[in-house]
Amino acid sequence: MSERWETLSSRIVYETPWMRVREDRLRQPSGASGMFSYIDKGPFAIVIPYDGERVHLVHQYRYPVGCRTWELPGGRGEASDLPSMAALELAEETGFIAGRLTDLGPIYLAPGTTSQLGRAFLAEDLQPGRQSLEATEEGLSVAAFTITQLEQLIQTEQLRDATSLAALMLWRLAR
């Protein structure tokens, strides 16, 4: 028996330049039918800027959760390929230019809620440059943490961003 669900119809309920909310009528392999709503977004890149001793995190206000969060730099952009997008996001948010960018693997953001798939990258041989923040990144700051300090941020629930946690796990497994 196939695991694929058949899409009977699909409609866009809401759309902005950054995302679409879709509502699909579907038939499951068992024959049962239903409705599934989800967010359709383009790919993203997340970057671990590592200077050989420390990981550089960004601290920024996140409106949906109403507080500042520690996270790795990343996001969506106009780049046609994810390595270019990763390099661009790194430079915009931290000012760093990576001498070496290593693809660590794919991450589904939240596969029960969104179709968005991204990739994690390790940025090394960092050269300082100049930040060029977007208006939505107002107040973003950058700080460096040793691996021990990074683990403490995670253990004390100061770093809770799921995408950052997943990227850090991919990096740990690759080391």
CA distance 19 to 27: 25
* 52 part of a folded domain: yes
**CATH number for 114:** 3.90.79.10
Region 46-63: mean pLDDT is: 96
Neighbouring CB atoms inside 10 A of 67's CB total 9
Domain that holds residue 18: 6-40
By CB neighbour count within 10 A (0-12 exposed, 13-18 middle, 19+ buried), where does 146 fall? exposed
Tokens matching residue 101: 């960018």
pLDDT at 94 over 90: yes
- The pLDDT-based confidence of 48 (bands split at 50, 70, 90) is very high
Indicate the residue type of 134.
E
* 1 part of a folded domain: no
Q: What is the pTM of this model?
A: 0.91
Same domain for 17 and 68? no
Contact 60/161 with Cβ under 8 angstroms? no
